Amino acid sequence: MQTDTLTVTSSTSSYPVVVADGALATLPQRLGALGLQGRVWLLSDTTVLPLHGAAVVAPLRTAGYTVEPFAVPAGETSKSQTQLDAIYAWMLGGAVERRDVVLALGGGVVGDLAGFAAASILRGIPVVQLPTTLLAMVDAAVGGKTGINHPLGKNLIGAFHQPRLVLADTTTLTTLPPRELCAGWAEVIKHGVIKDAGLYTELQNLAADYCHPAQAAQGSVVTWAAGDPRFSAIIRRAVAVKVGVVSRDEREQGERITLNYGHTMGHAIEALAGYGTLLHGEAVAIGMHIAARIAASMGICDLGLVKSQRALLHAFGLPTSLPAGLDAQALIALTLRDKKVQAHKVRWVLPTTIGNVVIRDDVPEELVRAALRS
């Protein structure tokens, strides 16, 4: 499986990122190779643990590990202080030790929550990310960003805590509901727009093959075609974009900001609509469309890019329009709480061509408002 392994190598850490069918079966050997021999605290959610928990617990216990499973309620609302306190009580009540390891089995919510718990309990213990959603595999599980939401904004409380291992078993994607799978494609498309034009072209080709006329009303690629090797290859290529960026800029001092394409407005939309109303990938897709429209209005990109990106987002079942009832001024106000704000200026990630973006802090508010209206 070495050909399926990428490596994050930054100034402070180095760890493997494995993307392969059946990767979970190799977990005991990989933990042993990393010297992780303590008790295993398996954190998941109420949807994922019944689906994939046994595939993690059984081989670990056979290998001699003590495994303690715990499930939080599924959904974005679990990225909260309340659930974090429940995790602390579970682990501290069970006499967690620094030699132990947290396994994060699930999507981005579980990964962020478990990662923050691992970063903060006993001043930090190891965490291993086991992403089971497309969004988590290509984005959230890689890079060490952890945290919880606050009523004033998404991911405003957290820490950088790099995992010791990311193990992405692509067979778990066959159990994803269609809407969850579609939401994950937003981050894959994002990686193509910001860094890899070839990946973007591969996604266009995939959409052309799978978005048949009979599916035109839905306009989405919702079926995971396990027999088509292009799916796994595209996921690995998208993960490689994240691995490369994180290796070069671990703590978002420069290039890593480009990974937030679509997130500045996407996070604001999530917060104002109410966490859980939209999936994260859906909000990011809308944010990407708004960012592209802003870029076109400023003459940074042409309208062809806006139309191409919009068509590709739609082909993968993603929205580009705001939910009804969201106030434009309230959304703009929320962008000022974005973590990338510097000197009270919002730093927007804007596309120039497919595969290239720029960071701008001089976007007139009227252009943002116009993009929201459109």
Is residue 256 annotated as a catalytic residue, yes or no? yes
CA dihedral for 237, 243, 247, 248, sign (positive or negative): positive
For residue 371, count other CB atoms closer than 10 A to its CB. 20
Question: Catalytic residue at 187?
Answer: yes
Catalytic residue (choose from 263, 293, 314, 339): 263
Tell me 172's DSSP state.
Answer: G
Q: Reply yes or no on whether 248 is catalytic.
A: no
Establish whether 339 is a catalytic residue: no
| Residue 52 designated active-site | no
Residue of 191, 267, 293, 347 marked catalytic: 267
Q: Which listed residue (180, 252, 270, 282) is catalytic?
A: 252
| 66 marked ligand binding residue | no
Find out whether 57 is annotated in a ligand binding site: no
Active site residue 191: no
Burial of 166-187, coded b for 16+ CB within 10 Å and e otherwise, reads bbbbbbbbeebeeebbbbbbbb
Q: Which segments of 93-175 are extended strands (E)?
A: 101-106, 127-131, 145-150, 153-160, 165-169
- The answer on whether 263 is annotated among ligand-binding residues is yes
45 belongs to an annotated ligand binding site: no
**Rg (alpha carbons) of the chain, rounded to whole number:** 20
> Is residue 150 annotated as a catalytic residue, yes or no?
no
Residue 56 near residue 86 (C-beta atoms within 8 A): no
User: Which residue among 164, 190, 237, 256 is the active-site one?
Assistant: 256
- The DSSP output letter for 80 is S
Q: Catalytic pick from 79, 190, 195, 280?
A: 280
Q: Which of 52, 155, 161, 187 is catalytic?
A: 187
Query: CA-to-CA distance for 341 and 250, rounded, in angstroms?
Result: 18
Q: Residue 132, annotated ligand binder?
A: yes
CA atoms of 114 and 102, how far apart (whole Å): 7
Name residue 233's beta-bridge partners. none
- 191 marked as part of a ligand binding site: no
Query: 252 catalytic, yes or no?
Result: yes
The answer to whether the annotation marks 154 as part of a ligand binding site is yes
Assess contact for 349 and 357: CB atoms under 8 A: yes
Q: Residue 133 annotated as binding?
A: yes
171 is in an annotated binding site: no
CB 13 within 8 A of CB 29: no
Residue 145 annotated as binding site: yes
Establish whether 111 is an annotated binding residue: yes
Q: Tokens standing for 237?
A: 């290529």
74 touches 48 (CB < 8 A) = yes
Report whether 108 belongs to an annotated binding site: yes
Binding residues for NAD(+): 108-112, 132-133, 145, 154, 172-175
Binding residues for Zn(2+): 187, 263, 280
Task: List active site positions.
Answer: 123, 145, 187, 242, 252, 256, 260, 263, 267, 280
Binding residues: 108-112, 132-133, 145, 154, 172-175, 187, 263, 280
